[in-house]
Amino acid sequence: MSLNDLQPIVIDTIVGLTLTSVVVLAVFVGFCVIVGFTKTKRTTGEGKVVKSLDERMSHHAVEYLAPTAPRGPADQLRSPELVEAAARK
């Protein structure tokens, strides 16, 4: 094989890899754009972003707990160790 025989093979390989990379990148970007647009559908309220799957399925806004709401038996802010330490001070 001479250099003249290898040149078309090398060029065609580079062109093929480049076109394949461009197609894969276009599919990836297209998928990201389509999935991104589905997140901008309004479910409730004035917001455009779906915050959770529950909000998406029920079409009701999620009610978040207030900072002062009790967190159940495992409330880390009211653990016995912290209550004792606060009582000592």
Interval 66-87: pLDDT, tens: 878 776 666 677 778 888 988 9
Q: For residue 44, what pLDDT is reported?
A: 61
Q: How far apart (Å, rounded) are the C-alpha atoms in residues 83 and 67?
A: 18
For residue 20, what are the CA distances in angstroms to 23, 27, 30, 43? 5, 11, 15, 38
Q: Which pTM does this prediction carry?
A: 0.45
Residues 6+ away with beta carbon under 8 Å from 54: 62
